[in-house]
Amino acid sequence: MLKEGDKAPVGVAVYDQNEHEITLGSFLANASHVVVYFYPKDNTPGCTKEACSFRDFNDEIRKLGVAVVGVSADSVASHRKFIGEYNLSFPLLSDPERKLIGAFGVWGKKKFMGKESEGTLRTTFLVSKDETVVHVWENVKPETHAFEVHEYLKRLFKNSMIAFDDFKKVELRTARVMKAERVKGSEKLLRLEVDLGERDAAGLPTVRQVIAGVAKEYAPEQLVGKTIIVVANLQPRILMKLESNGMLLAADAGDGKSVLLTTMEEVEPGAEIT
């Protein structure tokens, strides 16, 4: 069986539930990692619980930039039926010749109700974009395994280190809040107009619109005139049909509360944070 640090066989071709030839590498083309979970058989109690568990967590896992794929020795037709019956939201790969199963080393002897047999071992691998096995889960509990994987992924990305050159790409600047108002239809959002020291072609001051989720912590009037810290080079994002051109920095104060970061002394708008 492959272990952490091993090179994953991402080029082995098998078929998905739609009879398309596919490799794990094709999932990594659009994701930072892929969760590959091997299971014994479609429509059996444990495998159904595991599949439904991954179905229920798939949206949250996908938000982290991670793809999920299941693999067993079942036929394409069996996978198609299994997906339809339980509304599974991720692909299942058919590997009756055990090419991928064998490459990962998850075919072997197992015991069930005192009887020993050979089959696919219930094992999950996390594979990174550089084709490395990052983590292995063996002998998993089907009904709680997706939760376990999701928790691991959250810790992994929270603790991920970034290169200094990547950090230098983030442009942090001071901004003065000129106007603040609640976003209609939202309990969390405020619409802010902030001065980042920018000027238009005529040399006149301009303001940016920033949508911030701090309405539960701050009334609009509390923010007007405040100097805050903004990520100034973030791509625009649409929130409640409003374009946000930047992001405020805030500290997590616990219990879901946020505290805006500011400066100890008065600083002109647009000053770079270094």
Average pLDDT over residues 103-117: 83
- The per-residue pLDDT for 167 is 87
Query: Is pLDDT at 117 greater than 90 in this prediction?
Result: no
Show the domains of the chain with their CATH numbers.
14-158 (3.40.30.10), 167-260 (2.40.50.140)
Per-residue pLDDT of 187-246, as tens digits, reads 999 999 999 999 999 999 899 999 999 999 999 999 999 999 999 999 999 999 999 999
Smallest Cα–Cα separation from 248: which of 219, 222, 209, 216?
Answer: 209
Query: Do 208 and 198 touch, CB atoms closer than 8 A?
Result: yes
- Report which of residues 271 and 109 the model is more confident about: 271
Residue 53 backbone class (left: φ over 0; alpha: ψ -120 to 50; beta: rest): alpha
Torsion of CA 49, 71, 90, 136, to 10 degrees: 80
- The per-residue pLDDT for 90 is 97
Query: Is pLDDT at 111 greater than 80 in this prediction?
Result: no
DSSP 66-109: EEEEEEES--HHHHHHHHHHHT--S-EEE-TT-HHHHHHT-EEE
Average pLDDT over residues 154-182: 89
Cβ neighbours of residue 204 closer than 8 Å, sequence gap 6 or more: none
Q: Of 47, 51, 211, 212, which is the active-site residue?
A: 47
Query: Is pLDDT at 116 greater than 90 in this prediction?
Result: no
- The per-residue pLDDT for 248 is 95
3-state secondary structure of 259: strand
Question: With 0-12 CB in 10 A as exposed, 13-18 as middle and 19+ as buried, what is 75?
Answer: middle
Spatial separation of the C-alpha atoms in residues 150 and 58, rounded to whole Å: 9
Helices (H), 191-234: 220-223
Structure tokens given for 19: 């009879």
Cβ neighbours of residue 134 closer than 8 Å, sequence gap 6 or more: 4, 33, 126, 127, 128, 156
- The per-residue pLDDT for 113 is 66
- The per-residue pLDDT for 239 is 92
Q: Which of 82-86, 115-119, 256-260 is modeled with the greatest confidence?
A: 82-86
What is the overall mean pLDDT for the chain? 94
Per-residue pLDDT of 124-167, as tens digits, reads 999 999 999 999 999 899 999 999 999 999 999 887 667 788 88
Query: Do 51 and 9 touch, CB atoms closer than 8 A?
Result: no
Structure tokens given for 184: 């209609």
Q: Is 52 a catalytic residue?
A: no
Using a cut of 0.85, tell me whether the model's pTM lies above it: no
Torsion of CA 168, 169, 175, 181, to 10 degrees: -140
Query: Is pLDDT at 110 greater than 80 in this prediction?
Result: no
